[in-house]
Amino acid sequence: MIYFVLGGARSGKSGYAAELANKLSEQHQCNVLNIATAQAFDTEMAERIKKHQQDRPAHWQLAEVPYELTEYLQNDIKNKKVILIDCLTLWLNNQLFKYPDQNIETCFEQFKQTLLSLSCDIILVSNEVGLGVVPNGKVSRQFVDEAGRLNQLIARIAHEVVFLAAGLPLHLKGKPE
């Protein structure tokens, strides 16, 4: 199944996704593969990453995949039953900056097809960035637009979609666990 967890900054989405991953790993009697997409470009981001590392159970497997996420899912997840990807918006940010001339629609379509081909439970975390003002600057607007497109694409294929606000889950699609 595909689970999609989204919300704003500090909404509780990562904690919710981790609880879901733990529950699914207990059901499957397996370990969780946590795929992290963040990169520490500054001290503040390094602190955020450190907090996520401290909050993550020590027995989880970790893969840091800031760029080639689709390829990693196609080639390196053999026999995995529960995968948590946190987060898609950081992966998108990395894509836009490392590969500014890529066809992002093709990138998204390949990612979608890869997700649909997986035979495991996958939990995807993303930021909802489209609820605020339209940002100044072309690059910022492109990021918000593409994040919205990516979130819509994932929400369409997900079996369950949960929006977090103030730590409270709102189930948008599928049945609550």
So which residues are the catalytic ones? 52
Sheet containing 168-173: give its strands across.
61-64, 32-36, 82-86, 121-127, 2-7, 160-165, 168-173
Assigned token pair, 28: 């499957």
**127: closest CA among 111, 106, 148, 108?**
148
β partners of residue 120: none
Distance CA 72, CA 40 (A): 20
How is residue 110 written in tokens? Answer: 């390949």
Token pair, residue 8, equals 């704003």
Count the Cβ atoms, other than its own, within 10 Å of residue 147.
21
Residue 134, Cβ density class (10 Å: 0-12 exposed, 13-18 middle, ≥19 buried): exposed
* C-alpha span between 143 and 172 (Å, rounded): 23
